[in-house]
Structure 1
Amino acid sequence: MRDNIVQDLRQLLDAENAAIINGDFHVLDSLAANKLALFQRLHDADIPQTDLRRIARDIQKNQSLLGAAIKGVAAARARILALRDVRHGLQVYDHTGQFADLPVARPELLKKA
């Protein structure tokens, strides 16, 4: 029985790992309930330390990947916001050292007949 729990949990953690790597974050939500049930079964079972260490390594690997994905999304969001701000104008320092807004002139389109 304990082998089934360990095997099932490691398969779930592998699926979670693949979902994170592939960016299929919607899959993580569907794995969560099953993961919780397996952890509850794991808590009640007598599992060897070697298996528990392997499971802990898999969990840590997935946490690291998920943390990196979150940082990547935050960096991309910040970059998009910065690019959007540039379209509206630039913030520069004036001759007194204060921030000044420098509007961006939009080029006029010339229609030639």
Structure 2
Amino acid sequence: FVSNSAIFEKSSLIVLDNFLEFLNENPSVTIEIHGHTDNIGDDNSNLTLSEKRARAVADYLILNGLDAKRITATKGFGKTKPVASNDTEIGRALNRRTEFKIVRK
């Protein structure tokens, strides 16, 4: 994601489409979608943005044929779970992400 945006980059489409293919091949799998941000901005704004990111990914999957019932939750974590240092642009870019959690197989 670009900083301060819930619009995912076109380069993410290949990942989303591959995951959608996996879900279509495994119809019993249900998922949660977790959104994350870097540390730029205040806590409340980052929490809201992370929720919007998770929802944007869910909307894309549903628009492309996934049954909405297979997404058990969309959650936002703001800046609380970084995977990289927020001290560099590369680290911040890695923290602006969504993750899938498989809930049931």
| Higher radius of gyration, 1 or 2 | 1
| TM-score (norm. length: structure 2) | 0.29
More helix by share: 1
| TM-score (norm. length: structure 1) | 0.27
More strand by share: 2
Higher relative contact order (CA 8 A, sep 6+): 2
